[in-house]
Amino acid sequence: MSSGKAQRRSGCLGCLPRLLLTLAVAGVALLLVTAVFAPWGFFLGGHFHIIPYWQGWGIIHAKSGKYVVFVRFEPRPSGSRIMPHPSVGGRGYLCSPRGEIFAMHIDGGMRRGIGLSTEGENISLGMDYWPTFSSFTGNHRPAIAVKGKWQNPNIIGDDNGSISRAFNPDGSVASPDPHRPYPGDITPVTLVPGSYFDFQAACKQH
């Protein structure tokens, strides 16, 4: 009986190297695909890094209060076979003046034909509320945007009036209102390289 258990344990341990090898091969394949179709991903922020992504955070000082945003994105397929353009996607977080933290889904892009360097290039990021069990709800409010330009290693831009559309004057999430001014008050924001812990620390300083 004990011999059978030992064999089962040995068998499970024997699966581990194969699993690690499979993950390693998949990771290398993904890097190779990115190197061919989106080599700029390895230079986001102005310097080379082996993992093609960029993450950072910034503060939006709107009339309704202070909002802290965190973004982490990487190259993604553009969804267009006819006119592909450099697209990015990822996850982010938004902290409201009330201290609420919203998990956000990120989609964005840059112009066609960019080279390895993104310096001076425009970038647009759209973010909407995307909780863990998002498939069970159609509510993706709040939704905000950041439109800016790379000034490596930062992104200098504004919220495209999205905060004033997404939130009420007291910092609560706004309900859909066709009479709400568009685009609303436009507020500047600078995203700088940083971690989620930097975002958390800024969020707590309300």
Sequence ranges of the domains in the chain: 2-37, 42-204
pLDDT value for 99: 94
Q: Are 127 and 140 in contact (CB under 8 A)?
A: no
Statement: residue 7 has pLDDT above 50: no
SS3 content of the chain, % helix, strand, coil (to 5): 30, 35, 40
Q: Has residue 31 got a pLDDT over 90?
A: no
